[in-house]
Amino acid sequence: MNKLTLLLISVLQVSIGLAQYKVPELNAWRTHLSYWNNSTIAQNNNQIYVGSISGVFMYDADEVSVQLLTKVNGLSDVEVTKLAFDEETQTLIVVYKNSNVDLIQNGKTYNIRSILDQSIIGDKSINDILLYANHAYLACSFGIVKINLATLQIVDSYQNIGANGTTLAVNDLAVFNQYMYASSSMGLYRASLTSSNLSDFNSWHMQISDSTNQLLAVNGYLLASNSNKILRFDGLNWDTLSGLSGSEIRNIRISQNKILVVQPERIITYDNSFTPTVFSKVGSEDAVLTSKGYYAMAIHSQGLVVAEPTGDRYIIPQGPDGNTAAKFSYSAKHKKLIVSGGYVDGFGGAAGWKPTYNNNKFYIYDGNNWQSVSAFNNTWIENSRDFLDVLCDDKTNKTYLTSFGKGLLELTDFKPTNFYDTSNSTIGYFTNEFIAYRPVFAAGTAIDNNGNLWVTSYGAAKPLAVKTTNNQWYSFGLNGANNAVGFIVCDDAPTRNNKWITNSRGAGLIVYNEGANIASEADDQVKILTKEKGKGALPSNNILCMALDKNGEMWIGTDAGLCIISNPTSVFSNDSKNSYDARQLIFNTGSFNSIFLGTDAIYSIKVDGANRKWIATRNGVWLVSEDGYTVIRNFTTENSPLLSNVVYDIGIFEETGEVFFSTEKGILSYAGDATNADDKHGSVFVYPNPVRPEYKGDIGIRGLANKTNVKITDIAGNLVYETQANGGMATWNCRNFNGNRVATGVYIIYSSNEDATETFVTKILVIN
């Protein structure tokens, strides 16, 4: 065994702790989206492209492999509504819900956003795609758009082609006998391809006055769907195809030289003589045939289903069960991230919360894979909707999830063990004049430093409840404060132990202390913080989130900006000199002072291992320094793969530093450079290790003691780099102090706290 082999074995051993996680390259992104519900399919021989609101995945029926296409690795957008594949130019056409369009050729994406950016009064959706003579014709709500697939540009558009120059919303297109046909709810129109001006409505003539949808030119006929039947035209006469049921027709297409008609409960295949063969299958949105003659179907809640002789094969890329997400919570003990999948209507406003009856439950992520909640097969979970807040309590191995409408779900070791509502707790029901309507709008949860569980209940007569460590329940009226309560944060300083509670009706920020006797309301203290100077000086009375940082400061997000209360202890202080008014971050820009983030709505604040703040807004995400005065990162849809600028919450997988964002269009994550840390080193690992020539990113050194100094030397002891850990993680870009990439060799990493009482040494191999 040579020396290089020995070095490789030795270096790889220090990275074994990371082997259990598929950690992306530092500063890289990945999506975490659901692929259970798909609506459109395109085909290139045995490569099947499947589209949904999450993006596109490609299933290779020969290799039985799956490849994702997302905003991270090629797509320009999310929420795919239509796919088509042009064999002549080998182009995948991707149409999005917002009318954005991608053309993908030879692994490169060419974005056409002209329709998205165009000012059109009314709807401007794209309903279908016709491929003809190296062009893609888009059937749009305002007419037709023509794209040249060779030049990758829009070359023409035909608008106002309806009767007397009115707008014609085109459902689909086909070319038959040198005519272009356009289906619509106003009838079937056609225009001669020899016409000098297809944008002139005089070129278009109605052929059928009834509403028509899908079109297909095949085998010397034109097929047109009309509600639940298919009309067939030979150029002179119309008749109707047999073999159909009375249900809607979702698609007509050609696959493997056969005609497929997709209906909700079956697929009908026609041969060249239009003899039907029925394949019964419920739920198909679209379908194609593989080269072996197997049906490959996009079926609601089942992914891509391939009907093979030995049984159905289900193709569902790894991801959570749904794309909606409200809150994250991380269990350091179990190394799992749990996400509540529901949401409420009205979050971010001041008109109160309303249930949305979201059935996405919750998702559990172990660093590699998402667990499906359906595996629990639990009645409590099945009967609950709008899972909103989530809290992991590692001291008791409990996890709590609020259901906005049902109550509080308890998990033990991530398995359901109890459900709390008015029958077995003091969590209150929603009070109103309708006696028959008594939902339990459990909203927020928190654990205080004594181990008591606190639960807010929106609209209840006593909107705050607690379960003590000896399983006793009590509830509190908050001295008559507005009961439209939301999320709750416990200020865990032993001298305070206050509860900070948001209010969804713009009534300010509630601060509560239960006093010495938790069972009695007599010694309770309640204070309402508002915009008024001397009483909080908040930017707004509509509070959306709070976070207590590692310095004991309370960071508060409102619908009109960010503020900080530096000394939360002073809220219940009897000393008039102790102000609890909030301050805002003021930046000097030339001759003007500006408030950081202005009046942006702040949806979430998350404190990372280095006490830096991740801030989620309606206009993207910010990472700022410990004091907030230095912007380290700012992500928007314009400068990153962020799925949407509206970001509701942020979670951190502490073991790896990966930062998760819940956006209005789904979850994605960013490989961050900070982790939580103790005063002692943990399982230190370096990634990647070894560093190979093709790797150009940063190296992560994880598992360090908190804020240690890190020195990197060559094997001879010459210092090449020095930095300080962000919490328990340091990074190195493989360059020396001069900015040059270091030479091939083994490098020693020394980590030490200020007085050198806590040290660690490891190594890394760099190969050029």
Domain CATH code at residue 485:
2.130.10.10
State whether 514 and 610 are in the same domain: yes
Of 650, 671, 692, the residue that ends a domain is 671
Contact 139, 129 (CB under 8 A): yes
The pLDDT score that the predictor gives to residue 54 is 97
State whether 711 and 633 are in the same domain: no
Q: Torsions phi, psi of 689, nearest 5? A: -155, 110
State whether 651 and 721 are in the same domain: no
Which helix H or strand E contains 74, and what residues bound it?
none
CA gap 59, 290 in Å, rounded: 11
State whether 722 and 626 are in the same domain: no
- Residue 593 placed within a domain: yes
Q: Which two tokens stand for residue 606?
A: 């998350």
Q: Residue 753 belongs to what domain range?
A: 3-19+680-766
Q: What is the pLDDT of residues 359-400, one digit of tens each?
A: 999 999 999 999 988 888 999 999 999 999 999 999 999 999
User: Number of structural domains, the chain?
Assistant: 2
Q: Residue 674 CA to chain centroid, in angstroms?
A: 21
State whether 655 and 721 are in the same domain: no
Q: Which two tokens stand for residue 67?
A: 């490849």
Q: What is the pLDDT of residues 629-671, one digit of tens each?
A: 999 999 999 999 999 999 999 999 998 999 999 999 999 999 9
Residue 68 identity (one-letter amino acid): L
- Map tokens 């360059």 to a residue: 735
Strand partners, 4: none
- Residue 395 placed within a domain: yes
Contact 701, 710 (CB under 8 A): yes
Q: Which two tokens stand for residue 494?
A: 């032993």
Q: Which two tokens stand for residue 375?
A: 């595996």
State whether 520 and 374 are in the same domain: yes
Q: Which two tokens stand for residue 469?
A: 């460590």
State whether 451 and 579 are in the same domain: yes
CA gap 183, 208 in Å, rounded: 9
The pLDDT score that the predictor gives to residue 406 is 97
The parts of the chain modelled with pLDDT lower than 70 are 1-20, 433, 493-495, 589-591
Of 671, 706, 729, the residue that ends a domain is 671
Sheet order of strands, 554-558 included: 543-548, 554-558, 561-565
Residue 346: other Cβ atoms inside 10 A: 15
616 contacts: CB under 8 Å, gap ≥ 6 = 602, 603, 604, 605, 606, 647, 648, 649, 650, 661, 662
Sheet order of strands, 187-192 included: 172-176, 179-184, 187-192, 205-208
- Residue 85 placed within a domain: no
DSSP state of 116: H
408 contacts: CB under 8 Å, gap ≥ 6 = 400, 401, 402, 419, 420, 421, 425, 427, 442, 445, 455
3-state secondary structure of 11: helix
CA gap 462, 480 in Å, rounded: 9
- Residue 423 placed within a domain: yes
Q: Positive or negative CA dihedral for 462, 389, 726, 396?
A: positive
State whether 399 and 510 are in the same domain: yes
Which helix H or strand E contains 589, and what residues bound it?
strand 586-589
State whether 645 and 706 are in the same domain: no
In terms of Cα–Cα distance, which of 432, 424, 433 is closest to 406?
424
Output the CA–CA distances (angstroms, integers) from residue 610 to 28, 564, 565, 623, 673, in the order listed.
20, 18, 20, 11, 9
How many residues would you count in the chain?
A: 768
State whether 647 and 711 are in the same domain: no
CA gap 440, 462 in Å, rounded: 12
In terms of Cα–Cα distance, which of 133, 196, 205, 197 is closest to 168?
205
The pLDDT score that the predictor gives to residue 494 is 64
Torsion of CA 725, 727, 733, 739, to 10 degrees: -40
CA gap 353, 375 in Å, rounded: 30
- Residue 167 placed within a domain: no
State whether 375 and 396 are in the same domain: yes
Of 634, 653, 671, the residue that ends a domain is 671
- Residue 116 placed within a domain: no
- Residue 236 placed within a domain: no
491 contacts: CB under 8 Å, gap ≥ 6 = 497, 498, 499, 500, 548, 554, 568
Residue 748's CATH number: 2.60.40.10
- Residue 318 placed within a domain: no
State whether 684 and 622 are in the same domain: no
Which helix H or strand E contains 9, and what residues bound it?
helix 3-13
